[in-house]
Structure 1
Amino acid sequence: MTVNLKPLAEQVIVITGASSGIGLVTARRAAAGGAKVLLVARSADALGDAVRQINNTGGTADFAVADVGDAAQVKRAAETAIERFGRIDTWINDAGVAIYAKLVDTPEDEHRKLFETNYWGVVHGSLTAVAHLRAKGGALITVGSIGSDMATPLMSAYAASKHAVKGFTESLRIELEGDGVPVSITLVKPSGIDTPIAQHAANHTGAGEAQIPPLIYAPELVADAILHAAVHPQREITVGGSGRAQVLFSQHFKALYEKLAPASTKAMTDPQTPQPPTNLWEAEVNAGRERSGEHTAKEWSLYTAAAMHPRLTSAVIGGTLAGAVALLFARGGKKTD
């Protein structure tokens, strides 16, 4: 089935999780490319600031306050986009929260809340989007994680939710293709990205502030992959060659990965810095930030460029498993900046 997507400048785009990190970067880049954008998140103040900045710099944006774990709120956000801009061409599921804890130490109420946002938020967003897109077509893009493809100790509940997101997204794609519905469905799987997600996480490690596991990439790389998928139908895109290497290593050398992975958790906390308040239950205290402010992120990924342009793939993808082994050993030390 062929899905024809509009040029970015002709699109109306809805983005959840748009008050910080990847969602905020994507909203700003989409608006700079001429798209009309509806930003969705829980923080009215952060959304209002972002929309004013976009509109004051020549873009077109509005916002809707919604908790993606509530289906009714997500539907109202979609109605806001229709009322404000007349239609929806692309829907981006980006809202997400994290917990840093072993599974045996994860409170059940927090575990359930994480799934309400990370999994049910995708379900609510996707089904709402399909209801609006199925007649004329469009793109549905969900931000998963390399954790969709591999176990991740200490971010175990997060990885479990991303596995669920992958299963839902791929099953939905098959069903819609079988029904001839002209909606392109893409799963974007970022590696470690320099956003405030770790600073907003619930943290039960007792080992200081949660950290993003290295190697760490700039959120702009994810935003570019998302917006590429909004124009060019694509099944999935992994952002960051190091993340793809980790996944391949975990899948092909399972026993060795399971022995090495626990040591890698040492790089996932910083004992010198206390953990800020979590955004698990309420809108984040420090919403409005694109990056963590604590890392020097890689601004380029040749692997991701190749993934978005398949003709380059054979020239740049190879030798990733050895890199993954080295990365896992490197994680045993302190965070890399």
Structure 2
Amino acid sequence: MMRLKKLSEQVVVITGATSGIGLTTARMAAARGAKLVLAARSEEALGQLEQELRARGVEAFGVPTDVGDQDAVESLAHVAMARFGRIDTWVNNAGISIYGRTEQVSMEDQRRLFQTNFWGVVHGSLEAVKHMRKHGGALINVGSEVSDVTVPLQGMYSASKHAVKGFTDAIRMELEKDGVPVSVTLIKPAGIDTMFTVHAKNYMDVEPKLPAPLYAPELVAEAILSAAETPQRDIFVGGAAKVNSVGGFHMPRLFDKYSEAFMFGQQRSRQRSAEHRRDALHSPDESQELKQGRNLPDTHRNSAYTRLTMGANPMKLALLGGGALMAAWMLSQNRQRQEQPGAQQH
């Protein structure tokens, strides 16, 4: 198996570092002694985060970067190399969503989303591989459970995460074929209690929400940092992510029907959307930077499934996958009963 350095010996690049998963990962990596190069669009927020981490004795350097700009990502890599002489782990985390029916979303907004979510991953991955090809390292791309199964009202977000999965799998195989010592991991979180819905562009008449269950961003950060030290192909964060992936693969039509019946309502809150609502699609919302999440009361702080699978051997993963398939089948039976005439829907 490919050997990776301990975090305390690593230089780690993290995109989308001033909010949610990226911010949580940066703080946790700092606590474990990593040297950090942090990227985000907000220069002010990066400066504050850099100051916070340096006050704790961490070598951290912020680089204002729009990951959708290839030249900016190239400059990010050059700064990391100039500052520390190497890159050991590169985390492509920056992302954004849009809520609304696909036909309603402007082409400008759809393209901007793909520029960040997909092309940002491509730009970062190619820079990472360029600088880690000789000495090795870890490339970690943050996908989603919707890399495998789609939800309505977030059609372009789902499409971008499908694209991230396809790209990540392809570059992994190409590197393995050539014997390049770079580990490539795709992280697939379920719904995470971050500023995700606050940052998202919203075309609906009400504020968006994430369907339960929600998990804490610390669980995703833990998975990312585990992959930085131990090579692993995929990590699902939250048992719900695995159930949805397996169920969507083996019972796609049933999952379509469930989403049609329930996922429209489950993504709509009761709060009216403001007429001049702010979002972070085209530029950062400074008022919402440096927040890990919303600390919602029903957020799951642990995931037994994720902890069991991080660094697991293939046999354990097969057994857990079989368990997820059984869980998905049981869930489907419950959903079928709910969809019978006269069944109560909430």
- In the TM superposition, residue 10 of structure 1 has moved relative to its aligned partner by 0.1
Structure 2 equivalent of residue 248 of structure 1? 246
Show structure 1 runs of 5+ residues with no match.
none
Structure 1 equivalent of residue 225 of structure 2? 227
C-alpha spacing 1:258/1:46, structure 2 compared with 1 (3 Å): same
Structure 2 equivalent of residue 296 of structure 1? 298
- In the TM superposition, residue 315 of structure 1 has moved relative to its aligned partner by 7.0
Q: Deviations over 1:124-144 (max 9, x none)?
A: 000011110001000000000
Structure 1 equivalent of residue 280 of structure 2? 279
- In the TM superposition, residue 295 of structure 1 has moved relative to its aligned partner by 4.7
SS at match of 2:13: strand
- In the TM superposition, residue 83 of structure 1 has moved relative to its aligned partner by 1.9
CA contact 2:19–2:292 (8 Å) conserved in 1 = yes
How many Å separate the matches in 2 of 1:281 and 1:228? Answer: 32
CA contact 1:245–1:323 (8 Å) conserved in 2 = no
- Is 1:18 the counterpart of 2:25? The answer is no
How many Å separate the matches in 2 of 1:192 and 1:200? Answer: 15
Between 120-129 and 317-326, report the one with greater CA deviation.
317-326
How many Å separate the matches in 2 of 1:241 and 1:91? Answer: 25
Structure 1 equivalent of residue 263 of structure 2? 264
Counterpart pick for 1:321 among 328, 337, 344: 328
Normalised to the residue count of structure 1, the TM-score between the two structures is 0.93
- In the TM superposition, residue 323 of structure 1 has moved relative to its aligned partner by 5.9
Structure 2 equivalent of residue 77 of structure 1? 76
- In the TM superposition, residue 274 of structure 1 has moved relative to its aligned partner by 3.0
Between 172-181 and 314-323, report the one with greater CA deviation.
314-323
- In the TM superposition, residue 57 of structure 1 has moved relative to its aligned partner by 2.0
How many Å separate the matches in 1 of 2:230 and 2:65? Answer: 28
- The one-letter code of the counterpart of 1:57 is R
CA contact 1:246–1:324 (8 Å) conserved in 2 = no
Normalised to the residue count of structure 2, the TM-score between the two structures is 0.90
% identical equivalent positions: 44
How many Å separate the matches in 2 of 1:19 and 1:327? Answer: 39
How many Å separate the matches in 2 of 1:327 and 1:41? Answer: 41
C-alpha spacing 1:158/1:32, structure 2 compared with 1 (3 Å): same
Structure 1 equivalent of residue 133 of structure 2? 134
C-alpha spacing 1:327/1:112, structure 2 compared with 1 (3 Å): farther
How many Å separate the matches in 2 of 1:92 and 1:192? Answer: 19
How many Å separate the matches in 2 of 1:190 and 1:69? Answer: 22
Q: Deviations over 1:158-204 (max 9, x none)?
A: 00000000000100011111111110000000000001011111111
- Which is greater in Rg? 2
Show structure 2 runs of 5+ residues with no match.
339-344
How many Å separate the matches in 2 of 1:315 and 1:246? Answer: 14
- In the TM superposition, residue 212 of structure 1 has moved relative to its aligned partner by 1.8
CA contact 1:3–1:138 (8 Å) conserved in 2 = no
Q: Deviations over 1:76-109 (max 9, x none)?
A: 1111111222211000000001001111111111
Structure 2 equivalent of residue 147 of structure 1? 146
CA contact 1:194–1:295 (8 Å) conserved in 2 = no
The two structures, once aligned, show a CA RMSD in angstroms of 2.0
Q: Deviations over 1:249-292 (max 9, x none)?
A: 22222222111102222121212253541100001231111003
How many Å separate the matches in 1 of 2:250 and 2:197? Answer: 28
How many Å separate the matches in 2 of 1:175 and 1:64? Answer: 30
1:11-50 to structure 2, matched below 5 A, reads: 11-50=10-49
Q: Deviations over 1:43-64 (max 9, x none)?
A: 1111111121111123221100
Aligned residue pairs total 330
1:179-218 to structure 2, matched below 5 A, reads: 179-206=178-205, 208-218=206-216
Structure 1 equivalent of residue 341 of structure 2? none
- The one-letter code of the counterpart of 1:196 is M
Between 286-295 and 174-183, report the one with greater CA deviation.
286-295
Structure 1 equivalent of residue 309 of structure 2? 307
